[in-house]
A and B are shown apart, each in its own frame.
Chain A
Amino acid sequence: MEIFPILLIPLALAGIAVLPGVRAGRSRKFGVLNAAGHFANAALAVLLALGLMRSGGPASFFGFFYADLLSAFFILTISVINFISALYSIGYISADVKDGVMSERKAKAYYSLFNLFALSMLCVPVVSNLGMVWVAIEVTTLVSAFLVGFYNKKESIEAAWKYIIICSVGITLALLGTILFYYTASRDGGISSLNWTDMETVAGSLNPSILKVAFLFILVGYGTKAGFVPMHTWLPDAHSQALAPISAMLSGVLLPTAIYAIIRFATITNVCIGTGYTGNLFMLFGLVSLGVGAGFVLVQRDIKRLLAYSSVENIGIIATGLGFGGTVAIYGALFHVFNHAAAKSLMFFAAGRAVKKYKSHNIREIRGIISAMPFAGAMLIIGVFALTGSPPFSAFFSEIMILLAGFKMGLWPQAALLLLFMAVAFGAIVFNISRPVFGGKPEGMPVEGEPLSGKLAFGILLLLICVMGIAAPGLFRDLLLAASEIIRGA
């Protein structure tokens, strides 16, 4: 039952934000309320996961909403990142309003869109119908396009246009895949329903050749949204132009919601024709994305684009993990979804602070973050190592799990490539980020601390990646394990 408040809270907040009396910019009250609402959401997500684990089975309402442990995991990740972004937004938005970059009206629009975006992402894992999943994902594009083009500058409008056009085309192809799934389900399976639970029960009798083509459309279509190479071209533009809290949400949780949709289709396909077909495709797209992402990270000069390409690379790792198959690799992939979301948010927040202070995206023009902004600078350094998977941070464990699983299953060339690309990405990110962090700060730049809300956001993220790195709590581990069993179709 926790699903309904989880969906209602962002809806209510979106409504409150546009009420005439509410002042979202100058006074921080609304920002605090917003963060509190999303904190409640994250708590509810934990309750949902606990409830589902206790009852052991999925919960469904009206045949329309449906949540199993896989959805619970995604809801948890999304709501945690939403909460932290909401927390970070308080300081970010009020600073923007104070500097006159953003008007009071725009601040209200921001909070409203923020909540609609959160709502649309939360819708994706809780609807039971693959058609509605499609609609929810398309809505995430539409809402977040406004957030990408929020500053109304030439670059941001261009990024928003590319984003919306490329993702819409991609998602139209995904619709074609959905139609084909529906066609074979109604013709060969004898059901006229798009619920994946129904489809899974009849999956054995579906037409394999249509299913193969349909899954290809799904993978390319939703893969556009997830940022697989070569459909990733919108991603660096959109991520670099969006506001920092939104970049964190785009990169940390929007990309995985698309992965979630692909996973749902993949489980149906796997029942019918075995895991080899989908696994190979996942590995192919994963490794290509990983390699290209790592390469672009190496040559990137724009700090936010660099982080965006690192998202492409991380999505590649996740897809490769899903492609390897087997409990360990899938567990690692899901774990990496969470770790990447936390570490990438940390990086985007810290980079956002630096970009604002130096008024430049170029890592050659930014110097001495650590002395100009000691707190954000330190976070940037920690974030670099957390993101690239160094111990003791959590991403190390998810990456090593995927690697080990790959080697153990005898997929030597793939796992070796994975290791190579991860090493390239590690070197590239450390090299490119350490230059702007160290060095002398420009003459006359005042030293600046971090507002309390920002400190809190950073602190929580740091706590998450450290705790998960040292020992994931037992319940979280069980949740991940159960979710990966669902993917394996066990």
Chain B
Amino acid sequence: MAFAMVAAKRMSALIFGFRAQSFFLFLLTFILAFRENSTQLYFITTMLFAIKVVLVPNFLRRVARRIKVNEDLGLSANPTVSIFAAVLLSYMAYLFTGKILSFPGEFENSAFFVSLSVTMIGIFLMMARMKALAQIIGLLVMENGMFLAAASVSGGMPFIVEIAIFFDILLVVIILGVFVFKINKLFTHIDVDKLTELKG
């Protein structure tokens, strides 16, 4: 799914990609919760669904519509190059997990590899997309990767920490949304590569 997001040229497609990715994450943790049959995991799964699949994408869509930036994303790398870069990053993540970390279990190895690639692709999205909204989504993709790592590698962090992290993500998105509005009002655009008043 992350690959589709790299290729996405339009904002709505990007937001849809994020929603779908979160949905897969939701399915995965749901399976995990079912297998371990723990109420805490069920609770976390519900929060995941509510926040990442419903609330955050809806909020982003509203922001995007309000400031009318549904056009193109200001790609600094075109889809083909982006896909190529994403593949390269995943391969690096694969090498990294295999050679340096070498987890004992096969499942953990692959799960960590996937989450690390998702994180790296998130960073790539933030670097290669010049719209402020796209950077938010890049950050969220990174968070998704983290969550996958936490859920699959260690069976979830302690309960209260998970809750706090969710709350945090919600806060980040809302605050960034507010700033997108402010940028849009003051600069009449949200192209981050044109934010260059401060140098040195």
Contacts and interface: CB of A to CB of B under 8 A. Distances in A.
Mutual binders A and B: yes
A182 B165 CA distance: 15
Given A131-B157, A158-B198, A172 B102 contact: no
Contacts of B36: none
Contacts of B132: 161
B154 A179 contact: yes
B119 A182 contact: no
A38 interface: no
Interface string A111-150: 0000000000000000001011011001100100110010
Interface stretch (A71-79, A162-170, A270-278, A426-434): A162-170
Contacts of B160: 129, 131-132
Contacts of A159: 198
A210 interface: yes
Contacts of A194: 157-158, 161
A205 interface: no
A176 B176 CA distance: 22
B179 A131 contact: no
A213 interface: yes
A210 B197 contact: no
Given A135-B164, A193-B158, A161 B172 contact: no
Contacts of B100: 209, 213
A172 B143 contact: yes
Interface in B136-176: 139, 142-143, 146, 149-150, 153-155, 157-158, 160-161, 164-165, 167-168, 171-172, 175-176
A172 B186 contact: no
B65 interface: no
B179 A135 contact: no
Contact of B154 (A152, A182, A305): A182
Contacts of B154: 179, 182-183, 186-187
B146 A179 contact: yes
A145 B200 contact: no
B116, B132, B158, B171: residue with the most chain A Cβ atoms closer than 10 Å:
B158
A213 B119 contact: no
A interface residue count range (under 10 / 10 to 19 / 20 to 34 / 35 or more): 35 or more
A377 to B, nearest CB: 26
A157 B104 CA distance: 47
B187 interface: yes
B179 A129 contact: no
A179 B149 contact: yes
B200 A296 contact: yes
B11 to A, nearest CB: 17
Contact of A176 (B102, B149, B171, B197): B149
Contacts of B175: 142, 145-146, 164
B183 interface: yes
Classify the interface of chain A: helix, strand, loop or mixed: helix
Contacts of A155: 197-198
A183 B182 contact: no
A165, A186, A213: residue with the most chain B Cβ atoms closer than 10 Å:
A165
Contact of B176 (A164, A175, A302): A164
B97 to A, nearest CB: 10
A154 interface: yes
B101 A161 contact: no
A240 B199 CA distance: 11
B135 interface: yes
Contacts of A139: 168, 171
Contacts of A300: 200
Contact of A135 (B149, B161, B182): B161
B165 A131 contact: yes
Contacts of A158: 183, 195, 197-198
A240 B200 CA distance: 12
A169 B150 contact: no
B153 A149 contact: no
A201 interface: no
A302 B199 CA distance: 10
A160 B179 contact: yes
A172 B158 contact: no
A360 interface: no
Given A209-B102, A296-B200, A154 B161 contact: no
Contacts of A146: 175
A192 interface: yes
B158 A179 contact: no
Given A183-B154, A209-B102, A142 B183 contact: no
Given A158-B198, A161-B192, A169 B157 contact: no
B171 A142 contact: yes
Given A138-B172, A179-B153, A209-B100, A157 B179 contact: yes
In the complex, the 7 A-B pairs of residues with the closest C-beta atoms, listed nearest first: A131-B161, A135-B164, A183-B154, A158-B195, A237-B198, A172-B142, A179-B150
Given A135-B167, A161-B183, A305-B200, 19 more contacts: A129-B158, A129-B161, A131-B157, A138-B172, A139-B171, A146-B175, A155-B197, A157-B182, A158-B197, A161-B132, A165-B135, A169-B123, A176-B116, A182-B157, A183-B153, A186-B155, A194-B157, A301-B200, A302-B200
13 contacts: A129-B161, A131-B161, A134-B161, A157-B183, A159-B198, A161-B179, A164-B176, A165-B126, A172-B139, A172-B146, A176-B146, A183-B154, A302-B200
